Structure formats: C-alpha cells, structure tokens
Amino acid sequence: MSSRESLPALQHLCKTVRPSTATAVPDGELLDRFLSQRDEAAFELLVWRHGPLVLGVCGRVLDRPADVEDAFQATFLILLQKGNQVIKQGSVGSWLYKVAYRMALRVQRRHEQRAVRERSLSRLPHEPADRPRDEALWRELRPVLDAELSRLPERYRAPFILCCLQGKTNSEAARELGCPRGTVDSRLARAREKLRDRLTRHGIVIGAWSLAVLLAEQSGRLVEVSPVLVHGTVQAALLWSLRGLAGVASTSTSVAKLVALYAGSAWRKWYLLAAIGLFLVLAGTSWSAYANGSTWLLSSGQGGCGSHEAASPR
C-alpha cells in the first residue's frame, strides 16, 4: 500500500470536520510514519490538525499574509528536523506553538532590521469584526498574549494551548498529555490565573473565565487553513526529506532561509553553552593548580613570612 493510500479515511475526515476531532491516530505516530516511511498522508493530517493553531500564532504576530505563510511552512519543516525529539516530549501542539511564535518573531525582527516592514491596512481573515467590545479587547490583548503565554512553564502552557486554543476537552488533553484529568483541570486553572496576572501588568484587566471565553470565541472564528497552503507545506516537507534545504530552496528561498536561521541559532546556543562549560572547567582546573602550588610553597618554606624571618640577622 502506498503512503498516499495509507490514511485515506482520516485524511478525508480531517478535511471535512474540525481538525481537533480527528484523533484516532496520535500525533507521534503520524510524525514517525513520515520520518520513517515518507508517509505523505500522515504528515498532511498533522498539518490539517495543527494548522489553525500555527496560523493563528503567526497571524497575531505578523501583518503580511506572505510572511504568515512563510513562518507557517518553516514551523512544520522544523518539526521534521526535530521530529525524534518532539515524539519523546509528548504534546506536538504545544511544541509547534512555541516554535511558531519564535519563527514569527524572527520574521518580524528581520523586517525591522531592514527597515522595510510594512503595516497592512487590511485585516487578516481570522480577526474579529462583529462585536465591537470584544474587538477592542482583542486588539489590546493580541500584541501581548503570545509573549506572556510563551513564558508560562510547559506544564501550564501545554494544557492551556490544547484546551483554549485548539478546542480540546480537558479529557482529550489529559489523554494526549498522558496525565490524569484532575491534573489537567488544576494546571489549566493555574495557567489561566497566571496569564491573567501577567496581562494585568500590561494594563489589561480581564477575569480568568472571561479570558477563556474570549479565546474560545477567537478560536472558533479561525478560518481553516487553505488547501493550497497545506499542499505547499506537504510538498516542502517531501522536498526536505529528499534533498534537504536545497530542495526547499528550489521552491521557496524565504522559507529555506528561515529554517536555516533557526537551525543556526540552535547551533550557536549549544556552542555558547559548550564554551561556557569549557571555561568553567579550565577555570576550576587553574584554581585547583594554583591552590595546590600555594600549599606546596608554604609547606616547603619557600614563600611567606617564614622565609624572610629566617634570612634576616638578629
């Protein structure tokens, strides 16, 4: 059976209903199928399932639709690059959220550094426009929401993303995270409180429950990821698996640059940590040698006040 035929029922289901409802095959298994077998349908299902979450994050940070799409595709390519690590960590959705936010910030900084970033006068399709009060609150909340949410500890951020941004029930989140329902309930409540407190520091006063309701409404208004964007992302993934960054660059140099920059920043981080570790080891060795040398000099009478006193005449 070819990869195209391996998951036809789930693929069709994911295109016709909300992606969060197609949970028959776990994310980790879908990712493993693509990494080990190049199962195109498995990866496409992952994109359909988590695409709205990634698109929402990128759309809240970036204004230009082309930038949003580049960050979207680059996020899923990084998922392939780090796939084996992600499978072990658990929640693919929470991991994708974190990478998508960082990727969107990277695109934003790139435009700011080149002084060519443009503010689009038109709203993205998923922005609210039918309730003035909620629209004003959302406009105030949008610039700081992801920044503060990304700073929450993983144990709080993961259930919040699953339940408040992806529309999963607490029981579904518990199954995905592999922990009891009660644990998810308590962590979700704690996440709402922490996020509310952090938003208050920005002058945004909103109750924890009101915040949850507003986020649920915004999630419900998200326009589904277009089939064109899904197809382009899947094709980029196939090119990545066959030819690496060169394959991606053949269709989109901007996406390839984003992936390369992200990978490069990760290498620089580990290089810096290794350099710091080496410095500490060398410093510790030098201090140990100095201390041992000083002790030997003192014990042998070759230094200190004792030697001068012995040499001076009475």
Look up tokens 């069709």; give the residue: 12
Domain definitions of the chain by residue range: 1-123+224-302, 127-221
Contact 80, 34 (CB under 8 A): yes
pLDDT for the residue 225: 86
pLDDT for the residue 214: 72
- 296-305 residues labelled b (16+ CB within 10 A) or e (exposed): eeeeeeeeee
Look up tokens 């409404």; give the residue: 217
pLDDT digits 0-9 by tens, 238-270 = 998 888 888 888 888 888 888 888 876 443 443
What residues of the chain score a pLDDT lower than 70?
Answer: 1-23, 89-90, 113-135, 208-209, 212-213, 216-223, 264-314
CA dihedral 111→112→117→122, nearest 10 degrees, is 110
pLDDT for the residue 191: 92
- The whole-angstrom separation of Cα 221 and Cα 219 is 5
State the pTM of this model: 0.69
- The whole-angstrom separation of Cα 60 and Cα 40 is 29
pLDDT for the residue 301: 53
Contact 233, 72 (CB under 8 A): yes
127-221 under CATH 3.40.50.720, yes or no? no
Residue 117: phi and psi, rounded to 5, are -70, 130
Greatest Cα-to-Cα distance within the chain, rounded to the nearest angstrom? 104
